[in-house]
Amino acid sequence: MASIRRRPRASGPRWSVRYRLDGEPREKTFKRRSDAEAFKRRIEADEVAGLVIDPRAGEQAFGPYAEAWVESRRVKGKPLSPTTVAGYKSLLRRFLIPAFGRTPLRKITPDVVRNWYAELAKTSGQDPAAKSYRLLRAVLNTAVSDDILARNPCRIRGGGIEHSAERPMLDATTVLTVADAVDPRYRALVLLAGFGGLRTGEMLGLSRRDVDLMGGLVHVRHQSYEVKGKGRVLAAPKSEAGRRTVVLPALVVDALGDHLRTYAQPGPDGAVFTGPLGTPLRRATLSKQWREACAAVGLERIRVHDLRHHAATAMARMPGITTKELMARIGHASPRAALIYQHATEERDRTIAAFLDGEIASAQTALRTGKVTPIRSLPRAKCGPVASRRLVCRSRNAL
């Protein structure tokens, strides 16, 4: 806390404000007592907004506090998933502990956060900076709830927003092409992701009891995680919305039936998707097979998760489908993701409309100029697998 002391002088009294900054004693002198009192109030307010309520608690170093936060964190009463814990620890180790590990919580001020964020975005990129900033903000929000800080110093508008590149828009022909190109052991998985919309962890967590071939259903009850030092771990979905039943198209049901007879582990608890040795399929094995299949059909920069994106976008195109129905189908508790898919569909439709405008304009020009190719001489169009965001069918000769 600051204090005011009167200092007599021949020219009139002076008023000195004594205070501490970063543990060091400081003093500032004023001609008028009112100015000294105003400065004293400002110093004391700054001590609170830096956010310190309990000075002794504010001396805690960020590193130990954040590590304990990860271990004790609960979301809606549930502990964090193993993959989330691993992700948070990675962000702490790479970006937060080096910057704030030994820093007392009270000394993490808005300007310190801004400078750290700007440097991190410059050296590591916007997305790592956004992820790290969100974690820092969440940890310090808890410090506010614990009455250690009065306010959260993370105040960068839009600082936690990632600007990931738009993912490729696959179509049904591409999904079928990759499913036929991949090793037969993984064909059903590609179709289930591409037309059922399941997450990779949800598919890897399926057991025989979760598949109802007679009803054409798959029950999502678990997700499979790979935790360092523990291996494969089955856990409940992150939210209640993730626990769901999905009705499958006939093609996927038939593929799953063949798959269960040939590749799945025996018994009701046996894993549906397995690797070459018959053990539960690992993500690394799936990624390798996926890359090889994509390369075989000329696809680049396509991830397994893009299959789920295709399924959700295709569902969003269905006339009359509601946001709530789409949320239930893809397993989201919030309408945000469903709206993203619906927005993507709208943008895609606008792209198609713009393309058709160009085609119409070209045709009108050809009619006006009389440069119309007779139908019998038109070459047959060559249509191949999708290698980018659009399936491009071009004739050998442009009109």
What is the pLDDT averaged over residues 152-174? Answer: 85
Nearest residue to 16 via CA among 41, 24, 2: 2
| Catalytic residue chosen out of the listed positions 106, 259, 308, 310 | 308
One DSSP character per residue, 244-267 reads EEEE--HHHHHHHHHHHHHTSPSS
Nearest residue to 240 via CA among 381, 313, 334, 159: 334
Q: For residue 93, give both structure tokens.
A: 């180790």
Please write down the HEC assignment for all residues of 121-164.
HHHHCHHHHHHHHHHHHHHHHHHHHCCCCCCCCCCCCCCCCCCC
Q: For residue 84, give both structure tokens.
A: 């989330």
Among the residue ranges 158-167, 200-209, 384-393, the one predicted with the least confidence is 384-393
Confidence (pLDDT) at 326 = 83
Per-residue pLDDT tens over the stretch 314-339: 888 888 888 888 888 888 777 776 77
Confidence (pLDDT) at 188 = 97
Q: For residue 134, give both structure tokens.
A: 């969100």
Contacts 24+ apart (CB under 8 A), 388-394: 388/168, 388/300, 389/166, 389/168, 389/169, 390/169, 390/351, 391/171, 391/173, 391/174
Confidence (pLDDT) at 51 = 46
Mean pLDDT, the chain, whole residue set: 84
3-state secondary structure of 200: helix
| Catalytic residue chosen out of the listed positions 88, 117, 133, 199 | 199
Whether 332 sits among the annotated catalytic residues: the reply is: yes
Confidence (pLDDT) at 392 = 36
How many angstroms separate the CA atoms of 338 and 331, rounded?
A: 10
Reported as a pLDDT band with limits 50, 70 and 90, residue 344 is: low
Fold of domain 172-330: hpI Integrase; Chain A (1.10.443)
Confidence (pLDDT) at 124 = 93
Q: For residue 311, give both structure tokens.
A: 């399924």
Confidence (pLDDT) at 343 = 64
Query: Which helix (H) or strand (E) covers residue 19, if one does?
Result: strand 14-21
Whether 282 sits among the annotated catalytic residues: the reply is: no
What is the pLDDT averaged over residues 72-88? Answer: 85
One DSSP character per residue, 324-392 reads HHHHHHHT-SSHHHHHHHHHHHHHHHHHHHHHHHHHHHHHHHHHHHT----GGGPPPPEE----SSS--
List all residues 6 or more positions away from 154 whose beta carbon is below 8 Å from its beta carbon.
110, 113, 133, 136, 137, 140
Nearest residue to 97 via CA among 130, 135, 123: 135
In percent, the amount of the chain with pLDDT more than 70 equals: 84
CB atoms within 10 A of CB 359: 11
Confidence (pLDDT) at 293 = 96
Query: Which helix (H) or strand (E) covers residue 85, if one does?
Result: helix 82-91
3-state secondary structure of 272: coil
CA dihedral (297, 301, 307, 313) positive or negative: negative
CA dihedral (182, 186, 192, 193) positive or negative: negative
Compute the C-alpha angle 73/56/156, nearest 5°: 55
Alpha helices in 184-273 (DSSP H): 187-196, 200-204, 250-262
Dihedral of the alpha carbons of 291, 297, 302, 304, in degrees to the nearest 10: -60
Reported as a pLDDT band with limits 50, 70 and 90, residue 377 is: very low
Query: Which helix (H) or strand (E) covers residue 79, if one does?
Result: strand 78-79
Name the burial class of residue 368, with classes exposed (0-12), middle (13-18) and buried (19+) by CB atoms within 10 angstroms of its CB.
exposed
Pairing of β 24-30 and β 14-21: antiparallel
Please write down the HEC assignment for all residues of 26-82.
EEEEECCHHHHHHHHHHHHHHHHHHHCCCHHHHCCEHHHHHHHHHHHCEECCEECCH
pTM of the predicted model, to two decimals?
0.65
Cβ 225 vs Cβ 200: under 8 Å: no
Whether 305 sits among the annotated catalytic residues: the reply is: yes
Per-residue pLDDT tens over the stretch 29-71: 888 989 888 888 877 776 655 544 555 667 899 999 999 999 9
Q: For residue 96, give both structure tokens.
A: 């937060």
Using alpha carbons, list the distances in angstroms from residue 174 to 162, 180, 267. Answer: 28, 10, 34
Per-residue pLDDT tens over the stretch 245-287: 999 999 999 999 999 999 999 999 999 999 999 999 999 999 9
In the chain, domain spans: 3-40, 62-145, 172-330
| Catalytic residue chosen out of the listed positions 305, 336, 343, 394 | 305
